[in-house]
Amino acid sequence: MTLLLDTLALQPVDRRPVWVMRQAGRYLPEYRELRRRHAFQDAIRDPKVASEITLQPIRRFGFDGAIMFADIMTPLEAMGVDMTFDPGPKLRPMTLVEIADLPDLDLDRVEHVAETLRIVRREVPDEVTVIGFAGAPTTLLAYLLEGSGSKEYLPLRTAMHEGTPELDAALAKLTTNMHAYLAMQIGAGAQLVQLFDSWAGILPRDLLESRSYVAARDVLAGLDAPTIYFAPGTGHAHKSMGEVGATAYGVDWRVPIDVAWDRIGSDIAIQGNLDPAILLTDPDRIRRCVARLLERTAGRPGHIVSLGHGIDRHTPLENVAAFIDAVREAT
């Protein structure tokens, strides 16, 4: 067991584990240098490059988790969806019927993801947990219907309100295949998997509970590894989030971590939730904010220290180091 896995199991630990979303990314000079030679999708598809990117933040900062370098849209390409990234995903908007009729995930076409995980598992220190991930059905549906990112995701919201059999079929297609995708990752060496529901929070509580949470629960059910469910902007539905059945829940910075923890459930692990903007300030302020975060958890077992969302690409390296040092010096 690793520190991160022990924490997820609510075991006593000497210090709290720390990792952040997008830790393998544009704030790192070594990442920017590598990306000058490899386009985004090409980097994902080359296990040597993807594993190198995954390992870069581990070497520099010693994070307790190594999350594989990929994108939540990666498995959709292996289901026949054509897309480009500029920098976010761009694709032809699809109908619910078209989504439901997509072919099932071709695991051979995501073998590069499996190989990336195998390489990372071999090369990380034993104390570092290898993390896989997938996009949740609601969030993938948002992109497929829209054709890109959006502030409003009106096609998703409209479809959710209408609640047609075609919606059920589209969600079922994505649910079944994301479960298979995560199971493949676990078989390839992921010790923990996180389900990103980035746009579920745009929905009202009743649809979160009846659609998003149900689909997420079915994706995670029966997986042979601990799971984390991360759905930012869902403070209005924290009290029912525990129905997803994850091992732990990531929370964003909008709700104090102790409040979110009590709402979701005191018998689970929690991940978060420092505002990423704090890492754009200065080391002294970062240390004070980390201290306040840790005070709010009051030493409860099961806290994974992280940001409430992905690290910003403009974050200074010295501020990341101050964040990690503050966590480790305090616990």
Domain tally, the chain: 1
309 inside domain: no
CATH number at residue 52: 3.20.20.210
Residue 21 has which token pair? 């979303």
What is the pTM assigned to this prediction? 0.97
11 inside domain: no
273 inside domain: no
Residue 301 has which token pair? 């077992």
Q: Evaluate the omega torsion of the peptide bond into residue 87 and state whether it is cis, within 30 degrees of 0.
A: yes
45 inside domain: yes
Q: Strands 192-196 and 303-307, how do they pair?
A: unpaired
**Which pLDDT belongs to residue 87?**
81
pLDDT, one tens digit per residue, over 244-261 is 999 999 999 999 999 999
CA distances from 184 to 4, 61, 193, 224, 239 (A): 21, 28, 11, 10, 31
**Which pLDDT belongs to residue 238?**
97
**Which pLDDT belongs to residue 299?**
86
**Which pLDDT belongs to residue 331?**
64
Query: Measured between alpha carbons, how far is 155 from 10 in angstroms, rounded to an integer?
Result: 40
61 inside domain: yes
292 inside domain: no
Residues noted as catalytic: 22, 26, 35, 71, 143
**Which pLDDT belongs to residue 315?**
98
Full residue range of the structural domain in which residue 136 is found: 17-264
pLDDT along the chain (331 residues), means of 10: 96 95 96 95 97 98 98 96 88 97 97 98 97 98 93 95 98 98 98 97 97 98 98 97 98 97 95 98 97 93 97 98 95 64
Query: Measured between alpha carbons, how far is 265 from 277 in angstroms, rounded to an integer?
Result: 27
298 inside domain: no
Provide the edge-to-edge strand list for the sheet that holds 192-196.
65-67, 129-135, 192-196, 227-230, 248-250, 269-274, 303-307
